[in-house]
Structure 1
Amino acid sequence: MLQKGLNGFQIKLLALIFMTIDHIHFAFQGVYEVPLAFNIIGRIAAPIFIFMVTEGMRYTRNREKYMLRLWIGSLIMNIGNAIMNAYFPLKSGGIIINNIFSTLFIICLFIYGFEKVVSSLKAKQYYKVLGFSLLTLLPFISSALIFAITNTGFDHLYMIYLFKFIMTAFPSILFTEGGYVLILLGLGFYLFGRSKIKLGVFYLISSAVYFFLSVDYSSVSTLLASDIQWLMILALPFLLLYNREKGRSMKYFFYLYYPLHIYGLVTLSYFLGR
């Protein structure tokens, strides 16, 4: 009997392919003329991974362990990015700031923290309400600390180390990949993901709002010359094909592939561009 739709493993594998195509554009820009189509295809990847992580939060047996893996991934990526930027600079002049682990962690933290606050309120456990509220606010607190240190200046060496420590260890809502846009997208996926109709309507509205707020649509020629994140709309068919079956379990493959393929592509780009 033929399987209807795509299971979790299949949809993540497709997202991985789209992500790799996007990162080829990112890594080799300035070395070769990589077609813009690579970047457009890449807009499909992040929404799929975000959707799948909200499904993970919905069905995982151990949310704390799930979030811990994402946080460790975020920490490793931040350290790896710093090393790669120091020793393998991009020919385009840009720097590696890719860290979808951080974005996914914040989304899961908000889901986890909010639900814990609600359940603690119902149980009248107000000390837990305070604790989980502070935990949920952590990405905002880290952002505020980063701004405070930046405004104070880096007159002392310890301020530089403190700044680097916070940026590396504490995911910030203002300095994470995709920013608040992808985080709001993830929260919407969690709220509406059980119904394909609600999911589709939410995603169409989100893509349309992003388009009208961020894109210069005064002429056809400017549509692809400005922010193309609105083309995340191309991910919708894949989201709707998801059949809620898990499929093969290769979770560590995806955790490992993400940093390794970025650093591999950047290293190759560095030597080819010399």
Structure 2
Amino acid sequence: MLQKGLNSFQIKIIALVLMVFDHIHYIFTGVFQVPLWFTMLGRLSAPLFIFATANGMRYTRNPVKYLMRLWFGFVFMNFGNDLINQYFPLPNGGIVINNIFSTLFVICLIIFSIQRISVCRKENRPFLQYIFLMLVPVFSSIIIFMTMSNPSLFFMVRGIMFFVPSLLFCEGGIILVVLGVGLYLCNQDKKKIGIFYLVLSILVFAMGYNPEIGVESMFLDNIQWCMVFALPFMLLYNKQKGRGMKYFFYAFYPAHIYIFTILANIISKY
């Protein structure tokens, strides 16, 4: 029987392929001439992974384990990025700061808190602790922002950034967190998802406006607007999980970034 639409696994595979294009552009620019459309395709990747993750939090039987996997991924990549930047610097002068686990963790932490607050309200139980839990990424952002310029607090700030994901300093920042929580709150209603995602994409598009350059700046200076083309894939979602292989995605993400970075560093020396 022919399957209708796309299941979660297929959406994640599409996101993974597009992500590879994006990282090829970022890592190998300066080694090869990599066309801009590589990273334009990559703008679809994070929204699709976020879409799949928000749905994952809806269906998972153990949201705490789900959160812990993302947290371990976040911490692992913080140390991994530190090592890779120290021993295999990018030839183009950039640094590896990729850590989508931080963004996914913040999104899922907020979703988990919303879920628990809803349950507590139905059962007439206190839920203040979940409001506090939801605000942890906000508190960590405030602490980091207020202390990062103080050299004497360097290790404290670094410790917080390595172990406590923050709203302001996660990959993609507030916009991607709003995207994830908003997609969850749309409750898989395709009309709501379409309206919400288009409005957010238009907002991102408008944020790229530079008055010194003009309207052209919204198309070229901030290509994050290309994220709008992820919407058709979301609307094709058939609410099916598909194949498992969850650990494949957790492993592939850091592995391909570090392998690409090492290759770029080695090739640039010849």
Structures share fold, TM-score greater than 0.5: yes
With over 3 angstroms needed to count, the CA separation of the structure-2 counterparts of 1:166 and 1:199, relative to structure 1, is same
Task: Give the corresponding residue for 2:20.
Answer: 20
Task: Give the corresponding residue for 2:154.
Answer: 160
Is residue 240 of structure 2 the alignment partner of residue 245 of structure 1? yes
Is residue 223 of structure 2 the alignment partner of residue 214 of structure 1? no
User: How do 1:185-204 and structure 2 match up within 5 A?
Assistant: 185-204=179-198
Structure 2 unaligned blocks of 5 or more: none
Task: Give the corresponding residue for 1:86.
Answer: 86
Task: Give the corresponding residue for 1:150.
Answer: 148
Deviation at 1:216, TM superposition (A): 4.1
Task: Give the corresponding residue for 1:111.
Answer: 111
SS, match of residue 174 in structure 1: coil
Task: Give the corresponding residue for 1:10.
Answer: 10
Query: Matches of 2:95 and 2:219 in 1, distance apart?
Result: 22
Query: Matches of 2:187 and 2:262 in 1, distance apart?
Result: 38
> Contact 1:215 / 1:228 at 8 angstroms: preserved in 2?
no
Query: Matches of 2:97 and 2:188 in 1, distance apart?
Result: 32
Query: Matches of 1:13 and 1:115 in 2, distance apart?
Result: 28
Task: Give the corresponding residue for 1:174.
Answer: 168
SS, match of residue 230 in structure 1: helix
Task: Give the corresponding residue for 1:133.
Answer: 131
> Contact 2:205 / 2:218 at 8 angstroms: preserved in 1?
no
Task: Give the corresponding residue for 1:269.
Answer: 264
Aligned residues: 268
Structure 1 unaligned blocks of 5 or more: none
Query: Matches of 2:141 and 2:217 in 1, distance apart?
Result: 33
With over 3 angstroms needed to count, the CA separation of the structure-2 counterparts of 1:121 and 1:8, relative to structure 1, is closer
Deviation at 1:132, TM superposition (A): 1.6
Is residue 54 of structure 2 the alignment partner of residue 60 of structure 1? no
Deviation at 1:118, TM superposition (A): 3.8
Query: Matches of 1:69 and 1:168 in 2, distance apart?
Result: 15
Query: Matches of 1:74 and 1:39 in 2, distance apart?
Result: 23
What RMSD, in angstroms, separates the aligned Cα atoms of the two structures?
Answer: 1.6
Is residue 72 of structure 2 the alignment partner of residue 77 of structure 1? no
- Using structure 1 for the length normalisation, give the TM-score: 0.93
C-alpha deviations, 1:149-168, integer Å up to 9, x for none? 224x113xxx3221211110
* Residue type of the alignment partner of 1:240: L
> Contact 2:7 / 2:240 at 8 angstroms: preserved in 1?
yes
Deviation at 1:115, TM superposition (A): 2.8
